[in-house]
Amino acid sequence: METTNVLVLHASKHGATRQIAEQVWRTLRDAGLHVELRAAEDSPHPARYQAVVLGTAIYIGQWRSEASDWLRQHQALLSRMPLWIFASGPTGKGDPAELLKGEVVPPKMQTLMQVLKPRDIRLFHGVLRPDDMNVLERLTIKMVKAPLGDFRDWKAIEHWAEDIAGDLQRSQPESSETLPKLEIEPITA
């Protein structure tokens, strides 16, 4: 069976989302997949890969601009390949989606998600450490009374990555040369 090249891309401000991406990368690698871990700010071209897992931090209900911009820039190709997205951010106890009032995808990204059709969009708890934040961030966190600490569920993250690995191992990888050519008008908003 041909080796699947998987890109695990992350957009992280203080490193917590990068650490989740590293766990996803390790799990996929341990499953025998060829996987690269890159920062979204490096803007790697997705044509080198057969699948993408993108992770972004959430700040004030929005995905990091590096992640959103990369998805918009490469939407034509990404819409024709397996894509998984995770976001990290809410802190506290309980279901992360409920903590964000069910808003897993920011409103301004919903139209793009209809084009990309990711196989899954998962929301994970995040981390808030005052020592990592600037003065404005600390004031904002204090005003909204967000719980401080590390609330990431490493078992849930690993299980999600195992599901991705299983999905990729069950499907026959397609090379970028055999992907059908689609004309898709870029979404800029």
Residue 188 lies in a domain: no
| Residue 97 pLDDT | 74
pLDDT along the chain (189 residues), means of 10: 80 92 97 95 93 92 93 96 93 77 85 96 86 77 77 94 94 50 45
Residue 77 lies in a domain: yes
Residue 179 lies in a domain: no
Residue 160 lies in a domain: yes
Identify residue 69 by its one-letter amino acid code.
D
Q: Shortest CA distance to 91 belongs to which of 137, 17, 129, 146?
A: 146
| Residue 3 pLDDT | 58
| CATH number of the domain enclosing 112 | 3.40.50.360
Q: Which domain does 81 fall in, by range?
A: 5-174
- Specify the number of domains making up the chain: 1
